[in-house]
Amino acid sequence: MEGLGVLIVVVGVLLANLPALREQWRTDRAGSIKTIWLFGLYLLYIALGFGLLLLIAPRDGGHEGKAPFATGLVLGWLLYGALTLTRAVPRYRELPRWLANFGVAHVIVLGLVFGSLAGYHWA
């Protein structure tokens, strides 16, 4: 029953954004197409991250201590991809400087990725 509530919220958000998406398609078709392509690349990036996780995951049981590190690795991987995607897609408002340039956000997310990878390896 909980899954139905999440589905209703997701469908509601998609329906609420349809008029804005149609307007963007009419006014900036090239930007919309670029956004769709970059989102497809992000989905490929996500698949690559899960493939990496499956590649490094132990085949036998008894490694429950590695689960928090694997979770941190996947979360950091997804956040770094989202950060890169945010900088690459066409936008109509300027991003904050701390997000647009390499800085604190990148260091934190990359620290999460490499720290989780190191912890996963040594756990």
Q: Residues 29-87: pLDDT tens digits?
A: 998 999 899 999 999 999 999 998 888 887 787 777 888 998 999 999 999 999 999 88
**In angstroms, rounded to a whole number, what is the distance separating the alpha carbons of residues 100 and 111?**
18
44 lies in a domain?
A: yes
In a domain, 5, yes or no: no
- Whether residue 18 contacts residue 39, with contact meaning beta carbons closer than 8 Å, is answered with no
Structural domain contains residue 6: no
Q: Does residue 21 form part of some domain?
A: no
Q: What is the dihedral of CA 49, 73, 79, 32, to 10 degrees?
A: 0
Residue 22 is assigned to a structural domain of this protein: no
**Rounded average pLDDT over 83-95:** 87
Q: Is residue 16 part of a domain?
A: no
Instruction: Judge whether 18 lies within some domain.
Output: no
Are 109 and 79 contacting, i.e. CB atoms less than 8 angstroms apart?
yes
Domain tally, the chain: 1
10 lies in some domain: no
| Cα–Cα distance measured from residue 96 to residue 100, given in angstroms and rounded to the nearest whole number | 6
- Domain extent for 113: 29-122
